[in-house]
């Protein structure tokens, strides 16, 4: 039995090594995201927080392993450049929309008592986002960001 299990494991590893192209990796990633979202929604409905966290950790490990097996380049300098620009724009948009909504909620807080805590949470979230962005930016500005480290 042990022999059969270890044999099937070796076969599985061989298959993974052979078929793990970028396309297959992306398909598996999509499947995993679908499964995670399904497990998340079911677990939250059942008030269980252990299963989603375990699933998330396991899925990250599986994806990390499969990514290492992919033959060819998954992301290159162009992707990182686009990623950087997209992240900056996303942060700016989120901050602006968050700030506008926050002031709107403050302005109408006399109509509904729940508006004020929501506005406060929003304000602190935006501040946290901008502070973390600045800290990470300063870090990478100081310690030059080499392509090799991002592969």
Partner 1 sequence: MKNEIKKFRAKLGITQEQLAEKVGVRRETIVFLEQGKYNPSLKLALLIAKELSTPIDKLFYLEE
Interface ranges with partner 1 (CB under 8 A): 72-79, 147
Q: Which is nearer to partner 1, 38 or 88 (CB)?
A: 88
Q: Which is nearer to partner 1, 124 or 145 (CB)?
A: 145
C-alpha separations of 98 from 89, 93, 111, 124 in Å = 14, 8, 20, 10
Q: Which is nearer to partner 1, 77 or 110 (CB)?
A: 77
Instruction: State the minimum distance, in angstroms, from the CB of residue 33 to partner 1.
Output: 21
Task: With both helix axes pointing from N to C terminus, report the angle between 115-142 and 77-107 in degrees, rounded to the nearest 10.
Answer: 150
Q: Which is nearer to partner 1, 72 or 113 (CB)?
A: 72
Instruction: State the minimum distance, in angstroms, from the CB of residue 32 to partner 1.
Output: 22
User: Token digits for 151?
Assistant: 């592969």
Q: Where do runs of H (alpha helix) occur along 46-114?
A: 50-69, 77-107
Instruction: State the minimum distance, in angstroms, from the CB of residue 147 to partner 1.
Output: 7
* CB contact at 8 A, 38 and 68: no
Instruction: State the minimum distance, in angstroms, from the CB of residue 66 to partner 1.
Output: 18
* CB contact at 8 A, 96 and 43: no
């Amino acid at each position: 039995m042990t022999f059969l299990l270890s044999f099937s494991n070796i076969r599985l590893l061989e298959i993974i090594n052979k078929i793990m192209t970028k396309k297959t990796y992306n398909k598996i990633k999509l499947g995993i995201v679908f499964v995670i979202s399904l497990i998340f929604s079911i677990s939250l409905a059942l008030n269980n927080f252990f299963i989603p966290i375990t699933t998330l950790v396991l899925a990250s490990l599986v994806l990390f392993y499969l990514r290492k097996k992919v033959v060819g380049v998954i992301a290159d300098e162009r992707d990182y450049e686009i990623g950087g620009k997209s992240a900056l724009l996303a942060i700016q948009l989120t901050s602006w929309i968050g700030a506008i909504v926050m002031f709107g909620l403050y302005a109408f807080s006399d109509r509904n008592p729940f508006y004020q805590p929501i506005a406060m949470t929003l304000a602190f979230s935006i501040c946290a986002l901008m502070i973390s962005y600045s800290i990470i930016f300063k870090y990478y500005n100081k310690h030059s960001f080499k392509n090799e480290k991002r592969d």
